Amino acid sequence: MSSKKQKQQPTPVAKPKQATTKSPRLWTWALGIAAFSFLLYINTIGHDYVLDDFSVIKENFVTKRGFEGIPDVWKHHSRYGYWNSVGELYRPIPMTMFAIEWAIAPDSPSLSHFMNILLYALSGALLFVTLARWMRGYRLLLPLLATLFFMAHPVHVEVVANIKSRDEILMFGFATLALWFLHKYLETNKLSAMLLALGSYTLALFSKENAVTFVAIVPLMMYFFTKSDLKKIAVTTLPFLLPAILFILVRKAAIGSLTNPGETYALDNILVAAKGGAFYANAFLLLGKYLWSLLVPYPLCSDFGFNQIPLTTWGDWRVQLSLMAWFGMGIFAILGLRKRSLWSFAILFFLINFSIFTNLFVTIGTSYGDRLLYAASPGFALALALVLMKIFKVKWAATPSGEASILGKNTGLLAVAGLVLLAYSVLTFSRNFAWKDSYTLYETDIETAPNSAKLNFHYALEIVQKGLKSTNPTEQKAYYDHARKRLEHAIKVFPEYHDAYSQLGLTYYREKNYDKAMENYNLALKYKPNFPLVYSNMGIIFFESGQLDKAKEVYEKAVQFDPRMVDALRNLGAVNAMQKNFPEAIKWFKQGLVYDPENATLNFYLGSAYKDSGQPELGQPFFEKAYRLDPTLRK
């Protein structure tokens, strides 16, 4: 009797030794990434404030109130304490941190720089463990390389070295944490994980508005890295709309508008100057510039604004190439969707997170900024890691032999990846030096963007400061001449540059050329009739020439257009005091102290006004505070 042939059983295959989120080895790598990232930016700890740091920290009276200013941080737009204008930015979490840091260490940028570096390093560790969690079926080398490329990329220098850009770091960190908790919820079905995901996402939104794009990243992640069907994806994504709606309502209550309540100017966004179809042609020109900055991050610059990249037309080959590149990426990503290709995920992650900054859907307040690539560039970093692994024919799937085999048998891949990281690191570390202070940044970047009107203007301001500090008349004149040339070039590039006319007038005033100063002040008013700084500066000339009535008139206009302008309030009080109108003088001095309570001169003037009005007992506390703030006032 013949026996029936038994069916052969498959040989068991060992499970891949891919690290899990509970693996000590995974957290060792995460700690290494954090340390690497921290060291990349350690040379920025001693840097000064620069760029927007002044408007959100150093010259923002709300921030400088410390803990007392925190309620106002949540009630107003981010620059409420800097200017008396409408604002579109509502980022209360980073602004709260700046207020706390000011309270702990007033006017000490080192603490804030340290916090930026630390948060950036922690966000790198978090990104790695999140990608590793998603990609458990892939070699750990893939999320490791992607994270390292992201953290070392020089295009992120602006985000870390400019304290103000803490909003980017916090937003991305909280959004990544939300995605980590969401993935944990999908694996464990624990409600607490979902609540933590929603809470983290809420913090991301209140850190920076562009966190709204992560609502689309949620279903993207679920589609590529979980077994959820479309219904499950939709149902799980819906709760993330709630924090977004909450943020929109709170933001509207704070700034009074759902959209940008102010006007966008060509100086900030050159696309405003493009007419008709040329708008989109130039938008794609700049989109091509963004891609080039990712591929070749040198030279970098803090401002490529009007008119460093002149307006062009659809006939420009750069526009056409950019159009093909962007649409090509989109088509390639869509074609790979069905197969859940990692290429598609990387591209779609990039496109979704960058979409809000393209100017194709909404005209934003700037046409170009390296910082705007931050939340999108993990997609680029992942794509770069995929490219290198493809070139060196390294399979993405995890292997039974674990990570050691990759380190031992793929020396070509590791060598090239190491060279890329080395190049990125050198460029990043060296670029950090340019962000030491405003003068260094503008002096460095003017070589890269000599025709940027704003860069010339701000460089001129820093040159003037050098002149003011100089005690050598010949050297001082050289500084003023250099500043004047920069301002004149800014006006040549942008003839309606009211700020440049204003500062040009101030430069002439310092040289005691009052006729030229007034000529430029009037040109500034031609292009901006409600310019409080110009009226205040005109008042100084009238005051010094003894024309008190005219001085009073222009100071009143300055205060009319900016009720929080401390210099104008102080000078208006001084004029009234000289005219023996002490009640008015006291009123204006007290209003100035509302916005700058630690101003020694204002406290001294208010004390003097009380004394001269026959109320010395009311003035004494202000004298005492003035002497405490500035002992040289005691004469």
Query: What's the pLDDT score for residue 16?
Result: 42
Fold entry, domain 439-633: 1.25.40
Query: What's the pLDDT score for residue 404?
Result: 45
List of the chain residues with pLDDT < 70: 1-24, 258-262, 398-409
3-state secondary structure of 277: coil
Q: How far apart are CA 342 and CA 384, in angstroms?
A: 12
Run of H or E residues at 90: none
Query: What's the pLDDT score for residue 10?
Result: 39
Q: How far apart are CA 70 and CA 27, in angstroms?
A: 35
How far from chain centre, in Å, is Cα 140?
32
Rg of the chain, C-alpha, whole Å: 29
Query: What's the pLDDT score for residue 228?
Result: 92
Two tokens, residue 607: 């004390």
Q: How far apart are CA 197 and CA 133, in angstroms?
A: 15
Q: How far apart are CA 144 and CA 129, in angstroms?
A: 9
Q: How far apart are CA 118 and CA 246, in angstroms?
A: 29
- 174-188 pLDDT, tens per residue? 999 999 999 999 999
Q: How far apart are CA 386 and CA 342, in angstroms?
A: 8
| pTM for the predicted model, two decimal places | 0.90
DSSP string, 327-367: HHHHHHHHHTTTTT-HHHHHHHHHHHHHGGGSSSSS--S-S
How far from chain centre, in Å, is Cα 589?
35
Q: How far apart are CA 30 and CA 22, in angstroms?
A: 12
How far from chain centre, in Å, is Cα 455?
17
522 φ, ψ (degrees, to nearest 5): -70, -35
Domain(s) of CATH 1.25.40.10: residues in the chain: 439-633
- 547-603 pLDDT, tens per residue? 999 999 999 999 999 998 999 999 999 999 999 999 999 999 999 999 889 899 999
Distances (CA, A) of 229 to 430, 473, 587: 48, 76, 68
Q: What is the largest CA-CA distance in the chain?
A: 130
**CA within 13 Å, CB half, 501:** 21
